[in-house]
Amino acid sequence: MLFVTAILPMAGALVLLEAGVVDDPAAMLGMALALGLGLLAPVSRVCASIVVLGDLRTLNRFCSEIRQGRYGTRLSVGLEGDDEHEMLRLKRNMNWMAHHIHAQTRSLRARLDESDLRTRFYEEMSYRDPLTGLHNRRYFERFLADLLRGPSRGRGVFLALVDCDRFKRVNDTRGHQAGDDVLACLGEVIRESVRESTDVGFRFGGDEFGVVFRDIDHADCLRACDRIRYRFAASNGYGCTVSIGLGAWTADMGSEVPALVRACDACLYRAKDLGGDHVVSARSAAPAPADGVSPPPC
């Protein structure tokens, strides 16, 4: 820059003076000084662009990459030396900064993922009955309401209410552990007797259970209820049976859950009045028999 703005104009003025082109040395020196001052601004910009602005553009591109989440971007700095200029040190420090941001971001994402998993786990646990592993009443009310309001509008939806016969006798004579064994057995029978990911079993509390059947006809639904009844009677080991009231969603019920539950309750009371170990359906004129050949498994 000094060569272009000072030495070169002065050298030109001396050459012109020696050649006799200009007779007035003071005027020639003034012109050389004016030319040097005029070249100072453009030459300074060129030098700044070469020395500083190129590095600043590189730093701006680097910061833009970091802002867009590409934390693996690094500036080329080479091996660290003892005598480095400030721009190189700045680049090296920015590389460390990007590395630190990347590490902190990965750690934060891992913690957020863990927190999401923990939240989903506790939410799932809040909808589960711990003894049987079935869904609880809280989930039942939300699930059935959503199902009846959904696009299918309750088409092919049945609700079976299941009540354990003679459970109180077992609880009183054999103890609460025996009662828990009976309930756990009934929960397992329900899970194994219905279609996975389609039908949903629930425990409402005490010895009251339920199953929501979807996309099924009445005959298949009755067979599934009989399967629960036969399997539980054969496996609980305490002589307990179940009474089942089966109700179907109808258009006049709308999306109201209590209407469907009331229809099932009426059938369940009828099964209880018959002495238990019966399946009574709102669509059947007579209850399913309490004895006979067990239906084939799914």
Residues known to be catalytic? 207
Question: How buried is residue 151: exposed, middle or buried, by Cβ count under 10 Å (0-12/13-18/19+)?
Answer: exposed
What is the chain's percent helix, strand, coil content, to nearest 5? 60, 10, 30
Distance CA 61, CA 70 (A): 11
Task: Please give the DSSP secondary-structure letter assigned to residue 287.
Answer: P
Residue tagged 């999401």 (tokens): 116
Beta carbons of 140 and 210 less than 8 angstroms apart: yes
User: Checking phi first, is residue 47 left (phi over 0); if not, alpha (psi -120 to 50) or beta?
Assistant: alpha
Beta bridge partners of 247: 159
Amino acid at position 281, single letter = S
Under 8 Å between Cβ of 157 and 212: yes
User: What 8-state DSSP symbol labels residue 197?
Assistant: T
Using a CB cutoff of 8 Å and minimum separation of 24, what contacts does 216-219 make?
A: 216/156, 216/158, 217/156, 218/158, 218/248, 218/281, 218/283
Can you tell me the distance from the alpha carbon of 289 to that of 124, in angstroms, rounded to the nearest whole number? 38
Q: Which amino acid is at 206?
A: G
**Of 204, 194, 90, 94, which Cα lies nearest the Cα of 140?**
204
